[in-house]
């Protein structure tokens, strides 16, 4: 995705926002005008008497009466203008942002906010229509809020984070492009990635990383613990100071309290300055003593550094993006979930080409707000876990959805995924009783389901289901297979100073095992 395509998405959504806002403004304005006209018709004398004071001459009453409708109209126009001004100028803001980007300025995504442009209030229930996402960008010292299409939000955020990525775009064209383009891209990528990928056992991976990066991992974990101790020390000073303040204040007499408040505030500030200064000086001194040695790695970049190495360990061509994840159109293409406008977030994306099969894997979170819901209700959590997609050269003979069988208790404690599964097909009856006990298979073609579900494939799915605590969902749609493990986010965040995730070899082992188990399913289907 290049800068022109990204700008087109923003401009298109800005124009859509303008159309909807103007439509809603006209409708609401018409309703308000009708209501005001009815109100003035029945209460005109009362309103005139209210505005006419005893100091105004009797002959001026008719003049004031003539101005009241104009006052109301002008007031409404002012309110309407300030309500829609931002939407009317949004396209101009888009042009301004992209002129700065074309000059080489770097934009940073601050946040995204999902809203509904049309809300119909029905007592405690609100009907929400026309969803839109606003992306807040920091650019050249300013903050800009722009509307963006829901279906491309993931790709747009990727563009701002990593810039244009031709290899990634080529891989996505191979997996989701037009059939003719897909075939050409697949042939080209097969020429580029001709070497076979051999998945090494977890013991070999652990030994390799411990030998080559063990000291770095240990040093980053020590940094994390040291940072945690500093934060706890500052919090401890604040808590002790607050308790001391309360205790002394309760025991002091009134004449002492006013002076005590001022002295105490300055005292706490002085203590905090001394503590923070001490911590900073200690860090600086420690850095000076190792200035001649190799500079330590920043522990907040643990995943970016180590998971990139993990991807390259499997194959040098594989890539890892800490803030990258699959987009909503690709999620819906998999066929696991009903087609709805889900809110989507994610990260920890791996992409590559496994023995002629392009794939991507990431951590994903899906949520949804029903059209009929109360305004204060949070969105329903639909899915949270790992999401893996691979595209095979051959097209499967039928589409199917494989859903794990769960007990009533497990369904009760699970999120709302069961309400959003795309279970439109017929239930397939299989000969494998053990697999039938673990899963329910939805497929309209019984014979095709049995031919696709080979013994080796079913064994892989059973193993994966056990590994993911009985929460494995799998779909086959055309050439693609998707595997969704609804087990929560096991790839905890490590990118902030408040990180509580232990940085060790076990953390990497779990991620490596997840990825290689998903890739091994490809071997069972080839």
Q: How many CA atoms lie within 13 A of 25 on its CB side?
A: 18
Residues whose CB falls within 8 Å of the CB of residue 284, separated by 6 or more in sequence, listed in order: none
By the 8 A CB rule, do 139 and 101 touch? yes
Q: Packing angle between helix 254-289 and helix 202-251, nearest 10 degrees?
A: 150
pLDDT at 292: 42
Q: What token pair was written down for 417? A: 């995924």
Instruction: State how far the Cα of 200 lies from the Cα of 223, in Å rounded to an integer.
Output: 31
| C-alpha span between 388 and 358 (Å, rounded) | 11
Give the residue extent of every domain in the chain: 3-162, 202-297, 301-525
Distance CA 4, CA 48 (A): 58
Which stretches of the chain score pLDDT less than 70? Answer: 44-70, 72, 178-195, 237, 241, 244-296, 375, 411-413, 491-500
Q: Is 284 exposed, middle or buried (0-12, 13-18, 19+ CB in 10 A)?
A: exposed
Torsion angles phi and psi, residue 476, rounded to 5 = -125, 125
pTM for the predicted model, two decimal places: 0.78
**Crossing angle of helices 179-192 and 166-176, rounded to 10°:** 130
Handedness of CA 89, 91, 93, 99 (dihedral sign): negative
CA distance to 34, 37, 83, 121, 449, per residue, from 29 (Å): 9, 12, 12, 17, 57
pLDDT of residue 182: 47
Q: What is the pLDDT of residues 148-182, one digit of tens each?
A: 988 888 889 888 888 877 888 888 888 887 654 44
Measure the CA–CA gap between 470 and 473, rounded to whole angstroms: 9
CA neighbours within 13 Å on the CB side: how many for 417? 23
**Burial degree of 75 (CB within 10 A; 0-12, 13-18, 19+):** exposed
Among 362, 242, 192, 222, which Cα is nearest to 302's? 222
Burial of 307 (0-12, 13-18, 19+ CB in 10 A): buried
**Which of 132, 108, 175, 106 lies closest to 24, judged by CA?**
132
Between the CA of residue 336 and those of 173, 445, 457, 469, what are the distances in Å? 21, 17, 18, 19
- Count, residues in the chain: 526
Pull the structure tokens for residue 226. 């040291």
Continuous H helices in 126-253: 153-162, 166-176, 179-192, 202-251
Q: Which residues contact 431 (CB under 8 A, 6 or more apart)?
A: 450
């Amino acid at each position: 995705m290049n800068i022109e395509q990204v700008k087109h998405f923003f401009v298109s959504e800005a124009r859509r926002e303008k159309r909807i806002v103007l439509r809603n403004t006209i409708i609401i304005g018409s309703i308000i005008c009708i209501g005001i006209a009815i109100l003035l018709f029945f209460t005109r004398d009362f309103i005139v008497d209210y505005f006419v004071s005893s100091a105004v001459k009797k002959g001026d009453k008719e003049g004031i009466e003539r101005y009241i409708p104009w006052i109301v109209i002008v007031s409404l126009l002012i309110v309407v203008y300030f309500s829609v001004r931002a939407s009317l100028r949004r396209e101009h803001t888009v042009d301004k942002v992209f002129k700065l980007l074309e000059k080489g300025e770097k934009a940073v995504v601050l946040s995204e906010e999902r809203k509904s442009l049309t809300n119909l209030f029905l007592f405690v229930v609100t009907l929400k229509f026309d969803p839109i996402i606003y992306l807040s960008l920091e650019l050249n010292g300013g903050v800009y809020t722009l509307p963006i299409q829901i279906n491309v939000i993931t790709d747009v955020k990727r563009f701002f984070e990593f810039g244009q990525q031709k290899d990634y775009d080529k891989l996505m064209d191979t997996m989701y492009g037009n059939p003719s383009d897909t075939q050409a891209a697949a042939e080209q990528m097969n020429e580029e990635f001709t070497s076979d990928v051999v998945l090494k056992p977890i013991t070999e991976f652990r030994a390799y990383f411990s030998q080559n990066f063990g000291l770095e991992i240990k040093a980053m974990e020590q940094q994390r613990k040291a940072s945690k101790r500093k934060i706890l020390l500052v919090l401890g000073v604040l808590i002790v100071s607050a308790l001391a303040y309360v205790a002394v204040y309760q025991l002091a007499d009134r004449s002492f309290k006013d002076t005590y408040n001022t002295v105490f505030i300055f005292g706490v500030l002085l203590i905090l300055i001394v503590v923070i200064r001490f911590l900073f000086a200690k860090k600086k001194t420690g850095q000076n003593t190792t200035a001649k040695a190799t500079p330590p790695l920043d522990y907040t970049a643990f995943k970016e550094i180590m998971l990139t190495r993990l991807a390259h360990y499997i194959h040098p061509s594989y890539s890892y993006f800490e803030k990258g994840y699959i987009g909503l159109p690709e999620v819906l293409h998999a066929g696991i979930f009903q087609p709805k406008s889900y809110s989507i977030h994610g990260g920890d994306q791996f992409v590559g080409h496994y023995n002629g099969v392009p794939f991507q894997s990431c951590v994903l979170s899906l949520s949804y707000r029903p059209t009929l819901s109360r305004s204060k209700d949070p969105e329903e959590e639909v899915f949270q876990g790992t999401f893996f997609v691979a595209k095979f050269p051959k097209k499967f003979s039928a589409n199917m959805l494989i859903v794990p069988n769960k007990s009533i208790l497990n369904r009760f404690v699970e999120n709302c995924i069961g309400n959003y599964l795309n279970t439109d097909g017929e239930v397939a009856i299989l000969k494998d009783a053990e697999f039938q006990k673990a899963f329910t298979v939805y497929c309209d073609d019984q014979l095709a389901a049995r031919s696709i579900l080979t013994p080796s494939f079913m064994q892989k799915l059973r193993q994966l289901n056990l590994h993911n605590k009985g929460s494995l969902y799998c779909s086959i749609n055309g050439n693609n297979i998707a595997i969704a493990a609804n087990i929560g986010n096991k790839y905890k965040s490590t990118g902030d100073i408040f990180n509580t995730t232990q940085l060790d070899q076990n953390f990497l082992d779990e991620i490596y095992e997840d990825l290689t188990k998903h890739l091994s399913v490809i071997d069972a289907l080839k």
